[in-house]
Chains A and B, each alone.
Chain A
Amino acid sequence: MIQNKLSFHQSSVSLEIIGLPDYSKNENKDQISIISQWKLTIVDKPLIEGKIEHLGPIMDAFYIYSNLLIKNEIPIYESKLIDIKAENLHIHSIVLKSSKPKVKPLVLKIGNSLLSDTINCFDQLNESPKVTIKKTDIPTNIAKKLRFGLNKKVKFFNFFIPPFIAICSLILFSSSFIIFYNPFENIEKKELINPE
């Protein structure tokens, strides 16, 4: 049986997915639901390929790592299959561990440009209608609590700050009349009490 092959390209990175449609679900001939092979090619780097069940965790690792990188958290991702950590602001070190015994882990060093290319290739795969893979939990929906909190914060300031400033200015203005002491008035009063 001829297998379907789909490629996703982004600048220096390409992802190849080979597999078959699931005929039990009446899928089209060009669909891929049963992935038999995948290859991630990064220019000037060794070819990355693995078992079918490794694709999901590797994609997850890249997504989680990119989120950590952006959210100012410590950019380190470690798992049984893949480790990713930042060497500095521009270079990322990837360690791919083989599930086979006595096989040395593959160490890759990629820059921000290759990292974004890889993420974009995975995005294309995720969004492709022709490939059905187990979807990863990418946080694309905004947490309702966070959204609500942000709106509340804005409304709170808009609502309370103007009257707060008004009250403060009123207190300051009126307090100036209390503090001022008029010595002439006191002398006049004394003269009225003791007219000599």
Chain B
Amino acid sequence: MRKSYVTNNIKPNEFDALIRITVEMSKYLYPYIREIMKSKEDIEMNSVIWNDFNKRFNELIKERFNIDSIRVKKLLNQAENDEIIIKSLLILSFCISNQGYLKLKNFLYDF
């Protein structure tokens, strides 16, 4: 999915390290993650935060991912990507506890 010509398989210890970094980052960013999810809850409320987040998300996808891939196209499709984004944010917000590393690992294997 990424814009890369090198297909290196990730090693188990690198995978673990990435999960740990992600959990630590989501602990730090929890207030922001929460606000992004909250901005989408009330339809009448002006969802500026959500729109900003979505715009930046799409920009980063276009910048770093292979846009020709069907899976990436799905991520950029406004009609379909809401569910993917919300579920990803929910997973991150559920994994901010001390044992969040194990939870996230479990979620990823089940995904």
Contacts and interface: CB of A to CB of B under 8 A. Distances in A.
Interface residues of B, number: 32
Contacts of B35: 113
A186 interface: no
Contact of A116 (B90, B109, B110): B90
Nearest to B36: A113
A123 interface: yes
Interface stretch (A51-59, A63-71, A100-108, A170-178): A63-71
B94 interface: yes
A111 B36 CA distance: 12
Interface stretch (A15-23, A77-85, A141-149, A188-196): A141-149
Main secondary structure of the interface of A (DSSP, over half): helix
A171 B41 CA distance: 58
Interface in B57-111: 82-83, 86-87, 89-91, 93-94, 96-100, 102-103, 105-107, 109-111
Given A89-B82, A147-B109, A150-B109, A112 B90 contact: yes
B2 interface: no
Nearest to B105: A142
Interface string A85-117: 000011100000000000000000001110111
Nearest to B102: A140
Contact of A127 (B97, B106, B111): B97
A126 B98 CA distance: 10
A158 B98 contact: no
B94 A112 contact: no
A112 B9 contact: no
A124 interface: yes
Nearest to A89: B86
A124 B87 CA distance: 22
Nearest to B31: A11
Contact of B41 (A11, A69, A91, A124): A91
Given A69-B90, A70-B107, A89-B82, A112 B37 contact: yes
A146 B109 contact: yes
Nearest to B12: A151
B40 A70 contact: no
Interface of A: 11, 66, 69-72, 89-91, 111-113, 115-117, 119-120, 123-124, 126-127, 138-143, 146-147, 150, 154, 158
Interface of B: 9, 31, 33-35, 37-38, 40-42, 82-83, 86-87, 89-91, 93-94, 96-100, 102-103, 105-107, 109-111
30 contacts: A66-B94, A70-B87, A70-B90, A70-B91, A70-B94, A71-B111, A72-B87, A90-B37, A91-B41, A111-B38, A112-B93, A113-B34, A113-B41, A116-B37, A116-B90, A116-B94, A119-B94, A120-B96, A123-B96, A124-B97, A126-B97, A127-B98, A140-B99, A140-B103, A140-B106, A141-B106, A142-B109, A146-B109, A147-B109, A158-B9
